Amino acid sequence: MKSLGIVMGVFLMLGFLYQQWAEHRDAARFPPPGELVSVGDHRLHLWCAGHGSPTVLFVSGDGTPSVTMYAAQSRVAKFTTACSYDRAGLGWSDPPAKPMGLADQVRDLKEIVQRAHLATPLVLVPESGGNVIALSFFDQFPASVAGMVMVDGSEPDLWFRGSPDEFSSMRMMDPIWQAGWRVGAIRLLLPFVVPQWVDALPANLRGQFDAVWSKPMPSYARDTLDRWEQTPVAMRTRVVAGALGSRPLIVIQHGRPGGVGVPEKYEPEWPAAQARLATLSRDSEMVIARDNHHPVAEENPELVSDQVERVVASVRLRQGFPR
């Protein structure tokens, strides 16, 4: 038994050293493509590409670094300025100093927009749980939003009601994930567990994806858990029909159940929840991504960029933005 403990200790130490060496190598080969913007007691990674107005800002899903949306962002950057950011403790961003509720995440979003001098009003492109943050940002700063493309975005009522059902498994698995990252286990397993869309990424984006997902992300689970636990009921975002006025809105809904993202038990409610989101604007449209699961931006970046281009064109026409 003692010998087994010694052997395990040696393997863990070797794994830890391997992880440290690999992170150092990745930092040289795949540094953050953007800049680290101070938003107070931590820094957020922001990457912008392209030029033109309006600026499009991608908001990634629960516990997800922005690198997963880089393929869609790169396409959008061909016709306007396209930005994305990592929330605290995800991707290349610093971990938060305290648990981040919805109000804190919206404050971070406001700070990065202001401190990075992003031109407003923005076209927001939230995916999955990022939609809860984007809608709360709009509620507080409506003048900063010109239009939205919701990529299978979570409807707030369903998100806040449904999330607790998943919390016990998230709490149980998070220490395992964190330990796995630190001893190199996640890095070794990653090539065998990534979804099919990852293999289709261009070489540079694949390298960034592997580098980000192979290093510890302190907020992998806390991004979701803390948003729910630190947000009082009175502060939860609600869908109010017509709240977006006549701002252009496209709601993209996944067409294939299964895969990563929406638990099977919520599939029956998903179409009605997406339809409620479409009522937010008098100028809205629903698009069904018939061949895609919940991570639509990852599986079908061309579809997402096409819908963003339509909203950008509408905003330019209405508000006189130069190309």
The domain limits of the chain are 33-319
pLDDT at res. 162: 72
Q: How far apart are CA 244 and CA 147, in angstroms?
A: 8
Q: Which amino acid is at 317?
A: L
* Buried-exposed string 68-91: b where 16+ CB fall within 10 A, e elsewhere: bbbbbbbbbbebbbbbbbbbbbbb
Q: Give residue-wise pLDDT tens across range 122-160.
A: 999 999 999 999 999 999 999 999 999 999 999 999 999
**Token output for 79:** 């016709």
pLDDT at res. 320: 67
Closest C-alpha among 21, 27, 81 to residue 49: 81
Residues paired with residue 284 on neighbouring β-strands, in sequence order? 249
CATH code of the region 33-319:
3.40.50.1820
Mean pLDDT, the chain, whole residue set: 93
**Token output for 311:** 């909203």
Q: How far apart are CA 45 and CA 282, in angstroms?
A: 34
pLDDT at res. 124: 98
**Token output for 236:** 């939860």
Distances (CA, A) of 44 to 29, 37, 76, 86, 109: 20, 5, 22, 6, 9
Most distant pair of Cα atoms in the chain: their distance: 74
Q: Which amino acid is at 202?
A: P
